[in-house]
Chains A and B, each alone.
Chain A
Amino acid sequence: MFSLDTTLTLQHFLYVSGALFAIGLAGVMVRRNLIVIFMCLELMLSAANLTLVAFSRYRTEGDLPDYDGQVLLFFIITVAAAEVAVGLAIIVALFRSRETTDVSQITELKH
């Protein structure tokens, strides 16, 4: 299945992007450092991007790929950048007042 002489199919891309998504999700749940969690979240978005490009490339109309999926990808990249800009600012503000980025120590709000 993974021998070198076979051509790459849509499935291969979906396996990789699915693995990326799972790694990102596992990282969000397991890791304790806010910055690492944030990186894992970006990994999940990249997984979605790879899925979109793969579906778009393998759904051809004539000889051209269906560009709808690739357009959404550019919106996702832009929004992710905006999210990082705001997110890191909030994390920095929290770090200034608490001097930690460890989520297990951020427990001001309790029942």
Chain B
Amino acid sequence: MPVYALEIIVVGIGLLMLMLDAFADLKDKRAIGYLGVIGLIAVFGLLFVVDRTSSDSPFWQFYSADGKSMFYKGIAVLTTLIVLLMAIDYSPVTIAQTAEPEEGAHPQAGLGEFFSLPLFTCAGLMWMASATHLVSIFVALETVTISFYVLVAYNRRNVGSLEAGVKYLILGALSTGFLVYGMAWLYGMTGSMQLSEIATKLQADGINETGALFAFALLLTAMAFKVGAVPFHQWIPDVYQGAPTPITAFLSVGSKAAGFIIFMRITALYLGNGYLVGKITLVLTILAILTLIVGNLAALPQSNFKRLLAYSSVAHAGFLLMAMASTPTETVAKSGESMSVGSVVSFYLGAYLLMTLLAFLVMTVIRASTSGESISSYAGIARTNPFLATALLFSMASLAGIPLTVGFFGKLFVFKLAFEQEQWILLACGIIGACAGFYYYLKIAASMFLSSPNEGETVPAIRVSPAAAICMVLLMAAIIYGGINPSLLLKLVG
């Protein structure tokens, strides 16, 4: 079976779920969600057995099936899988905030689409992981973005969700505008749309370097919006806070991973040209410094847990940009042993997936039983819900980068790369950011375990569904295993 069959299967499952929602007479629509989960587990298994050989057919100008694309396809499938599990646990909130109290309507009307849309997003993410042509990059990116517009604004009886949807819509469309205009200029300067051909043309003599840099500036703006780099990060806290919690998790992992793979592909085009690479490294360094400082320091005073995780996601984008800004240049000879930028970024994203999804999984379970999203409502939660508190502790420790968690190695590799490239200012900002991170992540852990609950705000013991509990245990195990022995993840990254 060829690799691209996987995307077709994922879209097929999504359509099947949509049809079941519309035509099958289901008592409990959560069954549709479980169908999606089973389908994605099967697709994840198929990732390891598909036929990855390419042929001379023009199709392979648009598509690649190298190790890196397979890794990002795996990230897309795993993220969607866990998001679906969250969406199943979150369904009481979804029903309360979408269904119209109508005579004769299904009591769970509107739930089915909430399960099938993430499948279409997943297909877009998987396609993006393999895209090697401007047309396929554009179409895949828009598949993801447009289905996210719907998902963010899904709780249509909740003003916050609608407002987040509109903000995401306007800024997403703005970044699309920059992306397309940048692509037009890149095509105009090189006369090609195929990434490897563009890279060759950009190295050739007689290339219009100003035009090529203008194209890069436009594309950089678009990518910075997608990954949430400062100064294009203002939408992130509002959208993360307003969106339904499972979708916030999807945005912060899936959308970020997809943004970074395109970001790396586009930056890689320019690396062959000695003149352009110096300029680009400088811009990326400035972007990384701003993102590290603003993301980490703005997270410090947050009192809403979702907003805190939003700024944390900006901060992590800063660490990833720090790796990208440490691209080996000609002045510093590359030693044979150091990891490539692509591997460091992929490892960091893999680690980020585990810890962020665990945090959101715990948050979804708590949110479905209580109404609080503020940090103060987590106070003393360890007494009534020791399992959930432990899971959140693992996630926070890993996000902060404490040794023996996978997050530690993610940060270590980034710092090592910056050290080898002698990016001293960047390194200093990274250390300041990491220290700030220790404070705001461990503040939550301390609040859960050490303080006593506020008067009248005691969180009752929450029953965790078996699927979510298994998922949490697996994620905790993966965080610790990756923190003791990162070689398996490193091998997957390639």
Chain A residues proximal to chain B, CB less than 8 Å: 21, 24-25, 28, 34, 37-38, 41, 44-45, 47-49, 51-52, 54-56, 59, 66, 68-69, 71-72, 75-76, 79, 82-83, 86-87, 90-91, 93-94, 97-98, 103, 106, 108-109, 111
Q: Is B461 an interface residue (CB 8 A)?
A: no
Which of the residues A45, A86, A97 comes within 8 Å of B180, measured between beta carbons?
A45
Q: Kindly list the 6 A-B residue pairs having the minimum CB-CB distance in the complex, ordered from nearest.
A: A44-B177, A55-B188, A51-B184, A48-B180, A48-B181, A109-B238
Say whether A97 contacts B242, CB under 8 Å: no
Which of the residues A24, A52, A87 comes within 8 Å of B184, measured between beta carbons?
A52
Docked Cα-Cα span, A111 to B167, in Å, equals: 15
Q: Is the interface of B mostly helix, strand, loop or mixed?
A: helix
Which of the residues B135, B149, B183, B238 comes within 8 Å of A90, measured between beta carbons?
B149
Q: How far is the CB of A31 from chain B (nearest CB, A)?
A: 11
Query: In the complex, which residues of chain B have a beta carbon less than 8 angstroms from the beta carbon of A87?
Result: 149, 169, 173
Contact with A along B230-254 (1 / 0, CB 8 A): 0000000110011000000000000
Query: In the complex, which residues of chain B have a beta carbon less than 8 angstroms from the beta carbon of A72?
Result: 134-135, 138, 183-184, 187, 193
Known: A47-B181, A72-B134, A76-B180. A109 touches B163 (CB 8 A): yes
Query: In the complex, which residues of chain B have a beta carbon less than 8 angstroms from the beta carbon of A83?
Result: 142, 146, 149, 173, 176
Docked Cα-Cα span, A109 to B166, in Å, equals: 12
Say whether B142 contacts A79, CB under 8 Å: yes
Q: How far is the CB of B468 from chain A (nearest CB, A)?
A: 27
Query: In the complex, which residues of chain B have a beta carbon less than 8 angstroms from the beta carbon of A51?
Result: 181, 184-185, 188
Query: In the complex, which residues of chain A have a beta carbon less than 8 angstroms from the beta carbon of B165?
Result: 90, 93-94
Q: Is B164 an interface residue (CB 8 A)?
A: yes
Docked Cα-Cα span, A47 to B139, in Å, equals: 18
Docked Cα-Cα span, A25 to B187, in Å, equals: 21
Say whether B187 contacts A52, CB under 8 Å: yes
Q: Is the interface of A mostly helix, strand, loop or mixed?
A: helix
Chain B residues proximal to chain A, CB less than 8 Å: 134-135, 138-139, 142, 146, 149-150, 153, 156-157, 159-160, 162-167, 169-170, 173-174, 176-178, 180-181, 183-185, 187-188, 191-193, 237-238, 241-242, 302, 307
Docked Cα-Cα span, A37 to B177, in Å, equals: 13
Docked Cα-Cα span, A21 to B182, in Å, equals: 11
Say whether B177 contacts A86, CB under 8 Å: no
Which of the residues B166, B185, B191 comes within 8 Å of A94, measured between beta carbons?
B166
Docked Cα-Cα span, A69 to B159, in Å, equals: 41
Say whether A45 contacts B187, CB under 8 Å: no
Chain B, residue nearest A37 (CB)? B170
Known: A76-B138, A90-B162. A109 touches B241 (CB 8 A): yes
